[in-house]
């Protein structure tokens, strides 16, 4: 088996290690680029949302590299994400690609469904004890560290004296963590990466603005999709706090939600005065997290969404009233394949200036 899958945050790190342990050749496509987007756009309906096109382009690149198996997700629900895999399958078969698709239904069965999904990939004869141990190592060892490391990177960016120093460490971290196949190797690698980041000189006088980074899940966690907004905000002296992380989702939906104690319930309660029902996607999360961030003293919100995403369009139309009620500036950025980065950076600069003036005015009373 030669398995491939589209990039989605840091998910490729534990998957690469897992496949290597079971003798599966893992073909990781390149990070989404202009070519990736071009391939996806060429073979997608014009009206479909931007993540669909990026994921399709990424899968095509993996198949071009020799993959014979595609790992994907799907499931019921109002969001079109649940149907991506079926549409991708039809599109790729019509293009003449010969492959198998292994599907993980993320809305059914929780952690048990994940175990069955992994066992289907690695083989039915593998013992459950080993599979559960490898899932634990991948989720709570590798993926959790990668996402905690990313939070640390967001904190360092607006404070580093040499711009780009922390990015160099971050870009090498994925391959280094994926190469750590045991607890001891992982512990040593984590310690080395943290030492490198802690050695980066920081500006002791820095007082970065604090921004909540919210919106459609895939667009928020994928730098290629959002044109590197988090990095650009860091260059402007803005500390980014992102709500969307794969482990946040995994811990909530796979473990905590069945017990009735997930953070999602707190977010839904905060959003209830503005949106009383789930309209799918991340609309409720976008509204609820904005209110929670305002209470925590954030300077502003950057709301990222793909063109034609109905849940985020719903949230976008509620934001003007919410921003007025809670006195917090919100910048909504709608991205598709036509978006240019230069104009976007100008908007970010203006938004950073607005937040800085508001902070200064608040300090003056």
pLDDT in tens, 140-149: 999 999 999 9
What distance in Å separates the CA atoms of residue 254 and residue 212, rounded to the nearest whole number?
A: 25
2-4 β-sheet, strand order: 25-27, 2-4, 69-74, 100-105
Is the per-residue pLDDT at 112 higher than 90? no
Burial classification of residue 299, based on how many CB atoms lie within 10 Å of its CB (0-12 exposed, 13-18 middle, 19 or more buried): buried
Q: Please give the average per-residue pLDDT across 203-214, as a whole number.
A: 96
Residue 334 bridge partners (DSSP): 305
Q: Please give the average per-residue pLDDT across 235-255, as a whole number.
A: 85
CB within 8 Å of 338: residues ≥ 6 apart: none
Which whole-number Å values give the CA distances from 75 to 50, 83, 109, in the listed order?
19, 7, 11
Q: pLDDT: is 246 or 81 the higher one?
A: 246
10 Å Cβ neighbour count for 65? 13
CATH class of 207-365: alpha beta
pTM: 0.91
Is the per-residue pLDDT at 224 higher than 90? no
Secondary structure letter of residue 254 according to DSSP? I
What distance in Å separates the CA atoms of residue 211 and residue 171, rounded to the nearest whole number?
A: 23
Interval 164-183: pLDDT, tens: 999 999 999 999 999 999 99
Report H helices in the chain: 12-21, 34-42, 50-64, 84-94, 110-122, 128-136, 144-156, 165-178, 183-198, 217-221, 229-235, 246-250, 263-271, 283-295, 310-326, 341-363
CB within 8 Å of 289: residues ≥ 6 apart: 212, 214, 243, 267, 270
Burial classification of residue 98, based on how many CB atoms lie within 10 Å of its CB (0-12 exposed, 13-18 middle, 19 or more buried): exposed
Q: How confident is the model at residue 5 (pLDDT cuts 50, 70, 90)?
A: very high
Is the per-residue pLDDT at 323 higher than 90? yes
Q: Please give the average per-residue pLDDT across 332-342, as a whole number.
A: 91
Interval 258-288: pLDDT, tens: 566 666 788 999 999 999 988 888 899 999 9
Position of tokens 């580093």?
160
Is the per-residue pLDDT at 254 higher than 70? no
Q: How confident is the model at residue 110 (pLDDT cuts 50, 70, 90)?
A: low
Interval 183-195: pLDDT, tens: 999 999 999 999 9
Is the per-residue pLDDT at 251 higher than 80? no
Give percent above pLDDT 90 in the chain: 69
- Three-state SS at 106: coil
CATH of domain 2-125: 3.40.50
Query: Closest Cα partner for 235 from 348, 147, 343?
Result: 348
Write down the pLDDT at residue 344: 92
Write down the pLDDT at residue 42: 95
Q: How confident is the model at residue 135 (pLDDT cuts 50, 70, 90)?
A: confident
Interval 53-84: pLDDT, tens: 999 999 999 999 999 999 988 766 667 877 88
């Amino acid at each position: 088996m030669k398995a491939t899958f589209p990039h989605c945050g840091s998910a490729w790190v534990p998957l690469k290690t897992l496949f290597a342990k079971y003798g599966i050749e893992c073909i990781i496509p390149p990070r989404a680029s202009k070519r990736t987007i071009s391939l996806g756009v060429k073979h997608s309906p014009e009206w479909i949302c931007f993540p669909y096109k990026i994921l399709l382009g990424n899968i095509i690149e993996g198949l071009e590299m020799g993959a014979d198996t595609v790992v994907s997700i799907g499931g019921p629900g109002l969001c079109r994400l649940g149907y991506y895999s079926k549409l991708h399958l039809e599109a790729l078969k019509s293009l003449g690609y010969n492959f198998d698709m292994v599907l993980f239904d993320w809305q059914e069965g929780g952690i048990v469904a994940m175990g069955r999904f992994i066992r289907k990939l690695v083989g039915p004869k593998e013992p459950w004890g080993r599979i559960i141990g490898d899932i634990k190592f991948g989720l709570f060892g590798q993926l959790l560290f990668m996402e905690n490391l990313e939070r640390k990177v967001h904190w360092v960016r607006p404070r580093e004296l040499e711009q780009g120093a922390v990015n160099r460490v971050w870009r090498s971290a994925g391959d280094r963590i994926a190469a750590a196949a045991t607890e001891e190797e992982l512990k040593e690698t984590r310690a080395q990466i943290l030492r490198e980041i802690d050695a980066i000189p920081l500006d002791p006088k820095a007082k970065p603005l604090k921004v909540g980074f919210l919106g459609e899940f895939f667009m928020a966690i994928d730098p290629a999709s959002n044109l590197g907004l988090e990095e650009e905000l860091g260059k402007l002296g803005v500390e980014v706090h992102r709500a969307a992380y794969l482990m946040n989702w995994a811990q909530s939906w796979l473990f905590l939600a069945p017990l009735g104690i997930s953070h999602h319930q707190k977010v839904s309660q905060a959003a209830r005065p503005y949106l009383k029902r789930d309209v799918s996607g991340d609309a409720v999360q976008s509204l609820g997290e904005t209110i929670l961030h305002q209470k925590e003293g954030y300077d502003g919100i950057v709301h990222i969404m793909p063109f034609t995403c109905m849940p985020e369009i719903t949230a976008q139309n509620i934001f003007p009233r919410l921003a007025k009620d809670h006195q917090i500036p919100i910048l909504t950025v709608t991205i598709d394949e036509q978006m240019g980065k230069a104009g976007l950076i100008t908007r970010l600069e203006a938004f950073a200036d607005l937040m800085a003036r508001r902070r200064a005015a608040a300090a003056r009373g």
